[in-house]
Chain A
Amino acid sequence: MHLARVVGRLVATQQYEGLRGVPLQLIQPLDDEGADHGEVVVACSAISSGPGDFVHWIDGREAALACPESFVPVDATIIGWVEEAWSNGRKLAP
């Protein structure tokens, strides 16, 4: 599970049927100082997140388990909205 900031949204009408109704969002993974880390990833959202939100997300098989239908081709899912995160004694505010 990692930290990220939601930077966009994505709509795909032609997609795997198990993903109907599942929001797709662009997230920028963050490191332990809240700075950008790596490329933007497209993730499903299991909570009501939106652009600008500070979130945490999960990858791998567990990402599919967090979706309404657990047998979907998904490897990144937003599973929480982060209200506050402290790292190395500093409060992160991405």
Chain B
Amino acid sequence: MFLATVVGTVVSPVQIPVLDGRTLLLVQPVDPQGRKQGRVRLGIDHAQAGVGDRVLVMDEGNSARQMLDAKEGAVKTVIVAVVDYIERDGALAYDHRDERSTP
């Protein structure tokens, strides 16, 4: 799993059936301090995340299929949690309350 910031949304009316009814969000992988760390990609929302949230993203097909109950579904990147607080080496790295203004 990796940390990411939700930076956008994608509306896709024509798609493979397994994605129907799912929200697609654009996530930017970040390090605990919020610095960009990798390529933006699409994730299937599974945690009611919104733009600006710091989230935890699971990027592995097998787990995604189990979570979305899609036996042979083409799913891989799933947003599994909205992060409230990150501590690293004993210091605060992220707190969603004061980070609200800077995604």
Contact = CB atoms under 8 A, between A and B. Distances in A.
A19 interface: no
B13 A81 contact: yes
Interface majority SS (helix, strand, loop, mixed), chain A = mixed
Contacts of A92: 8
B92 to A, nearest CB: 25
A31 B19 contact: no
B12 A63 contact: no
Interface stretch (A7-15, A20-28, A54-62): A54-62
Size category of the A interface is 20 to 34
Interface in B70-84: 72-77
A93 interface: no
Interface residues of B, number: 27
Nearest to A88: B7
A80 B24 CA distance: 11
B91 interface: no
B61 interface: yes
B32 to A, nearest CB: 21
Query: Which of A82, A84, A92 lies at the interface centre, i.e. has the most chain B CB atoms within 10 A of its CB?
Result: A82
A56 B24 CA distance: 10
Nearest to A85: B10
25 contacts: A1-B42, A31-B39, A31-B40, A32-B26, A32-B40, A37-B39, A47-B16, A48-B14, A56-B12, A58-B74, A60-B61, A65-B73, A66-B16, A79-B74, A80-B12, A80-B15, A80-B19, A83-B11, A83-B12, A84-B10, A84-B11, A85-B8, A85-B26, A87-B7, A87-B26
Interface of B: 7-16, 19, 24, 26, 28, 39-43, 51, 61, 72-77
